[in-house]
Amino acid sequence: MFKFMYIDESGDLGIKEGCSRFVIISALLIDNPAPLERIVKNMRRHKFKKELRVFSEFKANNLKNETIKYALNQLNLVKNAQVFHMILEKKKVYSDFLKNDRHKCYNFVAGKLARNIILQGVDVEIRIDKSKGKQMLQEDFNQYFEKCLREKSQIYKVTIQHSYSHSWPGLQFADLLAWAAFQKVEHDNSEFIDMLQIQQEAYNVW
């Protein structure tokens, strides 16, 4: 049995004035990526053709609220879809090690997320938005995330790919989900995240 996981984040890891107060890493877990591909294709061909033709991918920051809400409602129809959020409130980061190395901080939060995703008897294909440009940083993330994911799960094979989100509807939906959760914690706006009817779990790093 296969599971497909797509990971993206919202917010930033900066600590200067003007940076976000929170960072959220979200993971969308599905049985089959085909329904997400159909949703994106249908939106591009029909109802939102004019808006989406200027964008190579869904990015919440580029889309109208109506478009985001439609996509989230369509996601509600995807069988067995689940989403997991890990929330970091940056003012609670006291470790200089994490403050001074954004990659390590990201991995730390992602590891916390992985420990809360419990899987049994499956192979997992994981895709994360290709933001960690250097191969060494990608491998560092892969090793740590898989280690954390396996702590409470019984998984056969794990593959982790760093991919460009414009080629993967699952990553585009992960972006929408992370953005929706971010609106709630950063801006006290829950109208988007409250639309979700799929199984949803949110955790705080501390």
Question: Does the pLDDT of residue 128 top 70, yes or no?
Answer: yes
42 Cβ contact partners less than 8 Å away, ≥ 6 residues apart: none
> How confident is the model at residue 122, as a pLDDT?
97
Q: Edge-to-edge strand order for the sheet containing 120-129?
A: 154-163, 120-129, 2-11, 22-30, 82-89, 199-204
Torsion of CA 59, 28, 142, 156, to 10 degrees: -150
Q: What residue ranges define each of the domains in the chain, with the CATH number in brackets?
A: 2-204 (3.30.420.10)
167 Cβ contact partners less than 8 Å away, ≥ 6 residues apart: none
Torsion of CA 145, 115, 12, 189, to 10 degrees: 150
pTM over 0.85: yes
pLDDT digits (tens, 9 = 90+) for 132-186: 567 778 999 999 999 999 999 999 999 999 999 999 999 999 999 999 999 999 9
> How confident is the model at residue 147, as a pLDDT?
98
- Produce one character per residue of 102-131: b if its CB has 16 or more CB atoms within 10 Å, e if not: eebbbbbbbbbbbbbbebeeeebbbbbbee
pLDDT digits (tens, 9 = 90+) for 54-90: 888 888 999 999 999 999 999 999 999 999 999 999 9
What's the gap between Cα 112 and its chain centre? 14
DSSP annotation string for 109-169: HHHHHHHT---EEEEEEEEEES---SHHHHHHHHHHHHHHHHTT-EEEEEEEEEE-GGG-H
Tell me the average pLDDT of the chain.
94
Question: Does the pLDDT of residue 5 top 90, yes or no?
Answer: yes
